[in-house]
Amino acid sequence: MIQVLERAFKILDFVAEEPENPKNLGAIAGHSALNPGTCANILKTLCEYNFLEQVDRKKGYILGPRVYYLARNGPYRKDIVRDSEPYVTRLASDVHETFLIATLHKGKRSILLQVEGDNVLNIKNEFLLQDNIYDTATGRLLLAFLSQSELESFIAGRGLPDKNSWPEAVTAKKLRDSLQTIRKQGMVLRTTRKDVVGIAFPIKQHESVIAALGLFLPAYRFKGEHRKKVLEKMGETAEKISKAIAKRKQ
């Protein structure tokens, strides 16, 4: 990829992480590992073509109208979003937690749909990409159901987990053993170093896992009857979505 395009895409990804909160030149340059002059030139070009919009000199940049025009046909994998939305909305309302649907796209995790616990639907037209897939419950689950060749390609491009992101899977053998355990369990349940619980269940199209239903919440809230309800409802919802997708694809 031409270097300037790679830099521009990295800038767009960063601004898209919080599309309503402007990012200033310093923040963008720091995140993209660019000197301010080079970054300013790329930002100027992105603004000229309406991919970004400068709110003002101090507040910085937000996504421009060209991005939303390109996304006018709806979210990425809108077939999955369409089949998932009613079930995830009902789940969030019943359990009062925030749930998401994620998939893998060219080695990166993409959040397709997010429903807040207060029943506010937020479909992600932008790709909210989490670089460290090893450090997320949905990322681990999706990796577990890749084919052997897909997994080898992913490892070749991204490397193995480090001790901070997945200490139990820092070698090729340990990673494969961990992924095999996930496949046997049929879900992921993990607690991070910051006492946040991550949970993921597979969404299938027939026998292939095409997405993951995920949730993260504070560990102190994941106890007793609420823990039982979360796991039970997530499992049921993932199955319902899978059946809806399979039915539409027949």
What confidence tens digit (pLDDT) does each residue in 201-212 have? 999 998 899 999
Domain count, the chain: 2
Domain that holds residue 225: 78-249
Structure tokens at 3: 């270097």
What is the tens place of the pLDDT at every residue in 112-124? Answer: 888 888 745 544 4
Q: For residues 91 and 119, what is the distance between their CA atoms, to the nearest angstrom?
A: 9
Residue 17 sits at φ, ψ, to 5 deg, of: -60, -35
CATH code of 107's domain: 3.30.450.40
Dihedral of the CA atoms 67, 69, 72, 75 (nearest 10)?
0
Residues 39 and 85 in one domain: no
Amino acid found at 30? G
3-state SS string over 204-239? EECCEEEEEEEEEEEHHHCCHHHHHHHHHHHHHHHH
Question: Could you give the C-alpha distances from 171 to 30, 159, 175, in angstroms and in order?
Answer: 31, 10, 6
Q: For residues 242 and 226, what is the distance between their CA atoms, to the nearest angstrom?
A: 24
Rg of the Cα atoms in the chain? 19
Residues 45 and 109 in one domain: no
pTM, full prediction: 0.72
Residue written as token pair 């095409």: 210
Residue positions counted in the chain: 250
Structure tokens at 35: 């000197």
Q: Are 116 and 98 in contact (CB under 8 A)?
A: yes
**Structure confidence at residue 40 (pLDDT):** 94
Per-10-residue mean pLDDT for the chain, 250 residues long?
86 84 92 93 93 83 83 72 93 93 84 77 42 87 94 92 92 96 96 86 93 92 95 98 83
Instruction: For residue 62, give the H/E element and its range.
Output: strand 60-63
Residues 129 and 59 in one domain: no
Residues 35 and 157 in one domain: no
Q: For residues 243 and 248, what is the distance between their CA atoms, to the nearest angstrom?
A: 9
Instruction: For residue 94, give the H/E element and its range.
Output: helix 78-95
Amino acid found at 170? V
Q: Please say which residue of 47, 70, 93 terminates a domain.
A: 70
Residues 49 and 166 in one domain: no
CATH code of 41's domain: 1.10.10.10
**Structure confidence at residue 75 (pLDDT):** 64
Residues 88 and 44 in one domain: no
Listed residue (218, 214, 221, 220) closest to 235, CA to CA: 214
